[in-house]
Amino acid sequence: MGSEAVQVLTIDTLNPNVRAMRQTSSVYTRKAQIEKELKAGVEKPFTKVFRADVGDCQGGGQKPITFIRQVMALCSYPELLNSDEFPADAKERAKRILGECLGNSIGAYTSGWGLQAVRADVADYIARRDGHASDSNDIVLSTGASDAIRAVISLLLTGKDGAGRAGYMISVPHYPLYSASIVEFGAYPILYCLDEESNWSVSLGELEMSITDAKTKCKPRALVVINPGNPTGSVLSKENIREIIKFAFRHRLFLIADEVYQHNVWARDVKFISFKKVLMEMGFPYNKLQLASFMSASKGYAGECGARAGCVEVINLEPEVKAELFKILHVKLCPPVLGQAVLDCIVNPPKPGEPSYDRFIRETTDILSQLRAKAEFVTDVFKSVTGITCNKIQGAMYAFPRIFLPEKAVQAADAAGQAPDVFYCLELLEQTGISSVPGSSFWDMPGTYHIRISILPQMEELKPALEKLKEFHLNFLARYE
């Protein structure tokens, strides 16, 4: 008897929805291989991979905010509360968090919703941000924003096949968590293309066209909008948000607003406006729309990706519907407790006059101004290269330039069995060590090719890397023109 006789789980018998999820990009996989090869001493035209692929702030060299890390250390090892090395407000914050924990320990489970005090601080933050009340009973803390996003998507599933299954409207391009989860859950992704010409805004005509087309294939349930945009780096205007809200109202869609980059706005002529704020300002009946808005400790100025902390505000949900959301979350017990503490520091930072205030402001201003400078610099570089166009990076952490590939390059990619953008990114990686994400990882945009480059690496590394990228690009054009 061969061992295959006892293999229950093979590539042919595993969950077909998981199989239908897209593979990790071959560029990502090749990056990992190259890093191993470099470690093993294999000679390359570079000594180190330049990671411009992931939205990983501290992985790119950003320094953590001292206040946040002090609170984490104090919560982890409360003996430090007796140390003179920590400012009084960090100690106070740690004591407050510990006081909320059972047994005064971050080692205890919290409620599946998260600590009540942190939820209240999130609600206060949102109320200040929007000028509209927020109820802590509408706030749920989560394991990164990802987990809350998946819980909300799950709640909206209709659980039926064919035309009865739930459809989720999602932009092209989009952060792949959405399509991956929709496909894993057996639902239907209703794709709508963002308007690159008009700075990646959401076009009403496109929304209408895509929902009309989808209605024979699924039951449209929700509309996902990522603002500021990932991968696009755009920031939606209030007018565009109003149009989107009206559209969602007209088609009875649940609004899923991914607003994890709300602190990351760089262009001086735009600002972040939350869907909640606009919807409240529009008044009845729009203020009765159901909305889930997500934020995260991984982005903004903190960039505490490793803490896996996020939250969602759900509005206009009946209590019994929230109880059902709780069921999904409670199965996994609770979000990481130190992550909850991190989020608390972000939504309720040191105040003027408190001992950590000046340092906190200095550090956050420094991080945000560096990111702004890099957003401007990267935009300028991409605008200056032949065969590349690039919208201004208004927000978030990425440039998403369009790459005009010569026909011969497209043929070469085809011969290699690769999508043209993947082919380009792989060549870039092999020749320069620059790791980027091909546009098709954010879903295919027919006829156009893009790459996503993060602005997170430090400026002193970003500058020479973009020089290399430019050189590579011109050589690439020359080779295939």
Q: Is 340 buried (19+), middle (13-18) or exposed (0-12) by CB count in 10 A?
A: buried
Which residues 6+ apart lie within 8 Å of 90 measured at CB? 67, 70, 71, 74, 356
Give the amino acid at 81.
L
Site for its own copies in 17-36 (CB under 8 A): 17-19, 21, 23-24
Residue 454 in the binding site for its own copies (CB under 8 A): no
Dist. CA 334–CA 323, nearest whole Å: 15
Residue 331 in the binding site for its own copies (CB under 8 A): yes
Q: How far is the CB of 183 from its own copies (least distance, A)?
A: 10
Q: Specify the stretch interacting with its own copies by CB under 8 A; choose among 176-184, 361-369, 375-383, 401-409.
A: 176-184
Site for its own copies in 86-125 (CB under 8 A): 101-103, 105-110
Q: Which of 46, 117, 186, 377 binds its own copies (CB under 8 A)?
A: 186
Q: What are the DSSP calls for 150-193, one per residue?
A: HHHHHHH----SGGGSEEEEEEES--THHHHHHHHTT-EEEEEE
Residue 70 in the binding site for its own copies (CB under 8 A): yes
Q: What are the DSSP calls for 8-28, one per residue?
A: -S-TTTS-HHHHHSPPPPHHH
Dist. CA 175–CA 377, nearest whole Å: 23
DSSP annotation of 233: -
Dist. CA 37–CA 27, nearest whole Å: 15
Residue 460 in the binding site for its own copies (CB under 8 A): no
Residue 356 in the binding site for its own copies (CB under 8 A): no
Residue among 222 and 267 whose Cβ is closer to its own copies:
222
Judged by phi (left if over 0) then psi (alpha if -120 to 50, else beta), residue 455 lies in alpha
Helix then strand then coil, in percent of the chain rounded to 5, is 50, 15, 35
Residue 156 in the binding site for its own copies (CB under 8 A): yes
Q: How far is the CB of 385 from its own copies (least distance, A)?
A: 28
Residue among 253 and 451 whose Cβ is closer to its own copies:
253
Count of residues engaged in binding its own copies, rule: CB under 8 A: 105
Give the amino acid at 226.
I
Residue 308 in the binding site for its own copies (CB under 8 A): yes
Q: How far is the CB of 238 from its own copies (least distance, A)?
A: 21
Give the amino acid at 443.
W
Residue 3 in the binding site for its own copies (CB under 8 A): yes
Q: How far is the CB of 254 from its own copies (least distance, A)?
A: 4
Residue 280 in the binding site for its own copies (CB under 8 A): no
Residue 135 in the binding site for its own copies (CB under 8 A): no
Q: Specify the stretch interacting with its own copies by CB under 8 A; choose among 193-201, 283-291, 420-428, 434-442.
A: 283-291
C-beta of residue 466 within 8 angstroms of C-beta of residue 381 = yes
Q: Specify the stretch interacting with its own copies by CB under 8 A; choose among 7-15, 197-205, 378-386, 400-408.
A: 7-15
C-beta of residue 83 within 8 angstroms of C-beta of residue 467 = no
Dist. CA 425–CA 439, nearest whole Å: 10
Q: Which of 317, 343, 396, 462 binds its own copies (CB under 8 A)?
A: 317
Site for its own copies in 34-63 (CB under 8 A): 51, 54, 56-62
Residue among 304 and 427 whose Cβ is closer to its own copies:
304
Helices vs. strands in the chain: H and E counts, helices first: 16, 14
Q: How far is the CB of 122 from its own copies (least distance, A)?
A: 18
Residue 461 in the binding site for its own copies (CB under 8 A): no
Q: Show the site string, 415-434: x = touches its own copies by CB under 8 A, - = not.
A: --------------------
Q: Which of 289, 385, 403, 405 binds its own copies (CB under 8 A)?
A: 289
Dist. CA 341–CA 204, nearest whole Å: 40
Listed residue (109, 156, 117) closest to 139, CA to CA: 117
Q: How far is the CB of 171 from its own copies (least distance, A)?
A: 18
